[in-house]
Amino acid sequence: MPVAPEMITTALELPGYRIVRNFGVVRGIVVRSRSVFGTIGASFQTLVGGDITLFTTLCEKTRADAFARMADHAAEHGANAVISFRYDANEVMQGVTEVLAYGTAVQVERL
């Protein structure tokens, strides 16, 4: 069972809990490309201006998938929380992007 989302934080600690074990860095990586149809649809949206919803949806889904993979990776190590959570993204090649979710897997207990 993955680490619960409410037990994942960008902070260095979880209020009300103390860290009893550190498992180290965990990550979730997703590499996505834009589809031809999505790129064409997004090109039309750029003509009008504003939020390019096709890309917004793709980015949100990609980040959610990377987050879920990181939560699974943390649980595989025996963690019940992740601190210092961050996202990173890099273009691997034109139209192909890697999204990385990472943090420090820890075991915490309630104070």
State yes or no: pLDDT of 86 exceeds 60.
Answer: yes
Instruction: Please give the distance of CA 90 from its chain centroid, rounded to a whole number.
Output: 13
- Amino acid (one-letter) located at 38: G
d(CA 62, CA 66): 6
d(CA 13, CA 1): 22
Other beta carbons less than 10 A from residue 10's beta carbon: 11
CATH of domain 5-33+62-110: 3.30.110.70
How do residues 58-83 score in pLDDT, each as one tens digit? Answer: 889 999 999 999 999 999 999 999 99
How much is the CA Rg of the chain, to the nearest whole Å?
17
Give me the residue label for tokens 């959570």.
85
Percent of the chain with pLDDT over 90: 67
Query: What global pTM score does this model have?
Result: 0.84
Domain boundaries of the chain, sorted by first residue: 5-33+62-110
Beta-bridge partner residues of 96? 33, 93
pLDDT at residue 46 in the model: 56
Extended strands (E) in the chain: 17-33, 81-93, 96-110
